[in-house]
Amino acid sequence: MPMFITFLGPITVVVAGMLLFASVKILRQYERAVVFTLGKFQSVKGPGLVLLVPFIQEMVRVDPRQPDRELGHQSQQCRNPHRRADRKHGPRHRQAGRG
């Protein structure tokens, strides 16, 4: 039997174990996971066992217990960005006697 075939069995077992280890994730009771498939949102998973496809799916852990962040004071923006520029020139009225 050729030498490379004898090493093929143990190498296959090691690679399969690494893929299995990379595909199983466990979420705690207070954690949620956002799953992306090839960078696109797929689903939100709850606590427990989560199975992923390695190198295809990615998981981001989210802790919903985190308090909201204060953004501070924000200025109100005008809906029409040209509206303020129009105020500089004053109202435009038609002159009497023309047109």
As a whole number of Å, the end-to-end CA separation of the chain is 103
Q: Is the pLDDT of residue 80 over 70?
A: no
Over residues 6-52, the pLDDT tens digits come to 778 888 999 999 999 999 999 999 999 999 999 999 999 999 999 99
For the CA atoms of the chain, what is the radius of gyration?
Answer: 30
* Chain centre distance of CA 45: 14
Check: CB of residue 61 under 8 Å from CB of residue 27: yes
CA–CA separation, 52 and 57 (whole Å):
6
- pLDDT for 61: 93
Angle value at C-alpha 35, between 30 and 39, nearest 5 degrees:
145
